[in-house]
Chains A and B, each alone.
Chain A
Amino acid sequence: DAGITQSPRHKVTETGTPVTLRCHQTENHRYMYWYRQDPGHGLRLIHYSYGVKDTDKGEVSDGYSVSRSKTEDFLLTLESATSSQTSVYFCAISEFGQVVGEQFFGPGTRLTVL
């Protein structure tokens, strides 16, 4: 596996609480991504980063924010979790100049919002 870790791997929380998921890479890749995966929807891009402090919105960014203060870390925050944000969250990385469309995925975080 590419050097990508996600923490926590599992989390159960209550509606209205803030949640932060962490993605850490040791590959020094420039691009980092957060996806959510739900039955019937495949993977949907939430936010991505193309460098330290450079981020942009994806397809389903409402209710999520991100930060990237170091190359190796990309944080996803749910400011006030809702039950619709129950999902499996994947972090991915890629490097410009490699195969377009090749992303390396982390092991995922299973989040349940009660």
Chain B
Amino acid sequence: QKEVEQDPGPLSVPEGAIVSLNCTYSNSAFQYFMWYRQYSRKGPELLMYTYSSGNKEDGRFTAQVDKSSKYISLFIRDSQPSDSATYLCAMSAGGTSYGKLTFGQGTILTVHP
């Protein structure tokens, strides 16, 4: 069983839809939770970052972490064709594991006009 599980999709939605992306994990030591976005044939880039449990909002994007359920989510409101990309969740325990990220498999999202 992988430490981090992410539904690879693919996910196809119409423009303006609300998108929900999710990851579950098994390692209770994870404290830092990230969402990376990767456009086709490019390297990933950090989109959202959350420490411990709670919500974080940045424009149309909201990241949620529920450590009790070992479940994280990324919501995209009013999705745009430019949001079409692969979204990867990533996690870290920090501390002596600084820099060691564990990624999910990535979800391929297509937003069609």
Contact = CB atoms under 8 A, between A and B. Distances in A.
Interface of A: 4, 31, 33, 40-45, 48, 50, 58-59, 90, 92, 94, 96, 99-108
A41 B86 CA distance: 13
**Top 10 A-B pairs, shortest CB-CB distance:** A105-B43, A42-B103, A43-B103, A42-B105, A101-B34, A101-B32, A100-B32, A101-B92, A31-B99, A42-B106
Contacts, number: 65
Given A59-B102, A100-B98, 5 more contacts: A41-B105, A42-B6, A44-B103, A45-B101, A101-B32
A48 B99 contact: yes
A33 B42 contact: no
Contacts of B88: 42-43
A32 to B, nearest CB: 9
6 contacts: A42-B105, A48-B100, A100-B92, A101-B90, A101-B91, A105-B43
Interface stretch (B12-20, B44-52, B57-65, B70-78): B44-52
Nearest to A99: B49
Given A33-B99, A101-B34, A101-B90, A107 B49 contact: no
A107 B44 CA distance: 9
Nearest to B8: A40
